[in-house]
Amino acid sequence: MGCRNATAELRWALAAPAFATRAFVTWACLTGTFAAEILVAAALLGVPAAAQAADATTPHKGGTLVVALDGSGLGTLNTQMTSATSALTIADIWADGLFARDAKGQKVPHLAASWDVSPDLKTYTFHLRPSVKWSDGEKFSSADVAFTLLEVAKFNTYQTQTLANVASVETPDDATFVVHTKAPLAVMLDAFDKEVFPLMPKHVYEHTDIALNPANRTPVGLGPFKLQSWEQGRALTFVRNPYFWDSPRPYLDSVVVAIIPDMQQETNALLRGEIDFMKLPYTQLKRVQDAAADGKVIAHKVELSAPERASLDLNTARKPFDDVRVRQALLIAMDRHRIVSDAYHGFAAEAGNAIPEQFTDLTDPSIKYSELYPYEPAKAAKMLDDAGYKLVNGKRFAMELTYPSAEFLRVIMEPMAQILAAQWGAIGIDVRLVGLDVQLWVDKVYNQRNFDGSLVSLTGRTDPMLGVDRSFLCNSTHLPYVNPTSYCNPALDAAAAKANTAAAADRRQYYKTYIEIVARDLNEITLTNVSTYYGVSTRFENLQKQFDISFNEYPNWAEVWLKPGQ
């Protein structure tokens, strides 16, 4: 809809219940006089005078919050089926799980009121909250949890090791869910965190093709809000879930997810007060930090988020990448400091090794890529000579480097790819860059495995078993974001198995072996370690608790309320 139709759209927006206190109109039109009309109209329909005078520390209901996303990877909203950032952010609006995390990473009960773990760490018993309903009014029970684990989680990129370790499941009654495992895993319980194990309704998915079920786009969930409408390419509107288990939450009337593909336009909208929340790209972070001086927005760093890392996958089933000397030479020919300074504008660090530094009790900082593979183009060229890839007419070999081109990722991946192409080109490697829509990229890399090199941004979750192992262990599946490189090393798998089954105090010794093997073989080269930042409006109370309880990154807004008078 163009700006010439803005007045009609404004009338429609103000008439819609979801926009009773906040009108949202096409982001491209929200400028100048029209933006002012929106804000005035919203104020006229806003919070009553009595509520405006209320104590700001007392939660009250009402208001709409606008989340902005670039919309990439939204083929499905079901995050048992995808780990795309847009879908993960949206999932915490409508979905929920057995437990979440607080600011220190401690587990907080959600749909499981409590749980017990047997002394041998092989039996997990979850005691579910009674009288809970799905957002469609149907009863929630232990059968839903069992169905999610046994039938839906097989599509989940984070659950590959969890499922392999499940011996059996019991549902002795509607409020009890029991998992028996084959072997004790140090972090088996972590696999049931709401971020990596959102619960799905059996009554909606049973006897259907789960991957094609329409509910993947029109979800039924247990979260604080439920989907009201999805206007393709523009916005998704979520309204308060009347059956939410944690009454009187949520306090907001609705959450609108605005699709804004351009990161600069998204940031403009945040600074103009047209949206309330966005994940900040590093290209815009300094700008929002500077603008925060006016007190209307903040640039919030999630201190305890799951470590995020940019990585390079190399297809070891193809020449020349089947030769470890070539893979090592590619790393030596990279100036990763320039990647940090140019692609990330300084808001990142060079990764030390395969296990992120945030896992302080598990990683081994003595093993550093910067020392094992310092930037030495001449040495890299010599290694390629020795591997049989000598310069012929100025070229050694050609390769294709692909990356997801969705806007939030593109602003990092594209300059990173250009830097690598230039640096590898300097030693005679002819690099062709291919940026693809996320779904096309996923199909090319993980389904077809038709690639030479692929850049990806991955999260380590709360433990290497969930977020790191998937990049390196043997993998015969074609699940998105699970090792697409055809690399398979039984010694590495054995080290991971020992690390995952050992007592907490003993895990580090096995991860040292793990790190050493990966540092030698380099099927996937971890490039950077980055923090997550959000741009957030200050119109709301209790935001800090929202970020803290997410821990892994994504807020669900159940605790947040609009400040009186906003």
Q: Which fold has domain 308-529?
A: Dipeptide-binding Protein; domain 3 (3.10.105)
**What does the DSSP 8-state code read for residue 139?**
B
Q: Which residues contact 244 (CB under 8 A, 6 or more apart)?
A: 222, 223, 224, 250, 558
Among the listed residues 404, 361, 365, the one whose alpha carbon sits nearest the alpha carbon of residue 502: 361
* Bridging pattern class, strands 308-314 and 524-526: antiparallel
Task: Tell me how far apart the alpha carbons of residues 490 and 164 are, in angstroms, rounded to a whole number.
Answer: 16
Q: Where in the chain is the domain with CATH 3.90.76.10?
A: 99-205
Q: What is the pLDDT of residue 555?
A: 62
Burial (CB count <10 Å: 0-12, 13-18, 19+), residue 113: middle
What six digits make up the tokens of 387? 């591997």
Q: What is the pLDDT of residues 163-187, one digit of tens each?
A: 889 999 999 999 999 999 999 988 8
What six digits make up the tokens of 245? 């288990």
Residue 407 binned pLDDT confidence (cut-offs 50, 70, 90): low
Q: What is the pLDDT of residue 17?
A: 37
Segment 92-102 shows an average pLDDT of: 90
> In which region does residue 426 sit, left (phi positive, over 0), alpha (psi from -120 to 50) or beta (all else)?
alpha
Distances (CA, A) of 86 to 37, 90, 234, 302, 542: 30, 6, 14, 17, 23
Architecture of 99-205 per CATH?
Alpha-Beta Complex (3.90)
Q: What is the pLDDT of residues 303-361, one digit of tens each?
A: 665 678 999 999 999 999 999 999 999 999 999 999 999 999 898 999 999 999 989 99
Is the backbone peptide bond immediately before 250 cis, with ω within 30 degrees of 0?
Answer: yes
**DSSP secondary structure of 455-488:** EEEEE-TTSHHHHTHHHHS---S--TTS--S---
Task: Tell me how far apart the alpha carbons of residues 24 and 67 are, in angstroms, rounded to a whole number.
Answer: 11
Task: Tell me how far apart the alpha carbons of residues 122 and 471 are, in angstroms, rounded to a whole number.
Answer: 26
**DSSP secondary structure of 437-457:** -HHHHHIIIIIS---SEEEEE
Q: Where in the chain is the domain with CATH 3.10.105.10?
A: 308-529
Establish how many alpha carbons lie within 13 A of residue 95's alpha carbon, considering only the half-sphere containing its beta carbon: 29
With the C-alpha atoms ordered 373, 374, 380, 382, is the resulting torsion angle positive or negative? negative
Which helix (H) or strand (E) segment holds residue 175: the answer is: none
Task: Tell me how far apart the alpha carbons of residues 197 and 431 are, in angstroms, rounded to a whole number.
Answer: 39
**DSSP secondary structure of 527-552:** -EEB-EEEEEETTEE-HHHHHHHH-S
Segment 521-534 shows an average pLDDT of: 92
Q: What is the pLDDT of residues 363-389, one digit of tens each?
A: 999 999 999 999 999 999 999 999 999
Establish how many alpha carbons lie within 13 A of residue 215's alpha carbon, considering only the half-sphere containing its beta carbon: 23
Q: What is the pLDDT of residue 30?
A: 40
Find the helix packing angle between 407-425 and 263-271, rounded to 10°.
Answer: 140
Task: Tell me how far apart the alpha carbons of residues 352 and 19 are, in angstroms, rounded to a whole number.
Answer: 47
Residue 408 binned pLDDT confidence (cut-offs 50, 70, 90): low
Q: What is the pLDDT of residues 11-66, one digit of tens each?
A: 234 333 333 334 344 333 443 333 433 333 334 334 444 444 445 678 989 999 99
Task: Tell me how far apart the alpha carbons of residues 383 and 324 are, in angstroms, rounded to a whole number.
Answer: 10
Say what the pTM is: 0.77
Highest mean pLDDT out of 61-70, 443-452, 528-537:
443-452
**DSSP secondary structure of 69-121:** E--TTTT-S-TTT---HHHHHHHHHH---SEEE-TTS-EEESSEEEEEE-TTS
In percent, the amount of the chain with pLDDT more than 70 equals: 86
Q: What is the pLDDT of residues 461-502, one digit of tens each?
A: 888 998 899 999 999 999 999 999 999 999 999 999 999 989
3-state secondary structure of 6: helix
More confident: 503 or 473: 473
CATH 3.40.190.10 for domain 3-95+223-304+532-562: yes
Q: Where in the chain is the domain with CATH 3.40.190.10?
A: 3-95+223-304+532-562
Residue 410 binned pLDDT confidence (cut-offs 50, 70, 90): confident
Segment 109-128 shows an average pLDDT of: 96
Q: What is the pLDDT of residue 19?
A: 37
Residue 399's φ and ψ, nearest 5 degrees, are -145, 155
Segment 257-283 shows an average pLDDT of: 93
Q: What is the pLDDT of residue 25?
A: 40
CB 449 within 8 A of CB 491: no
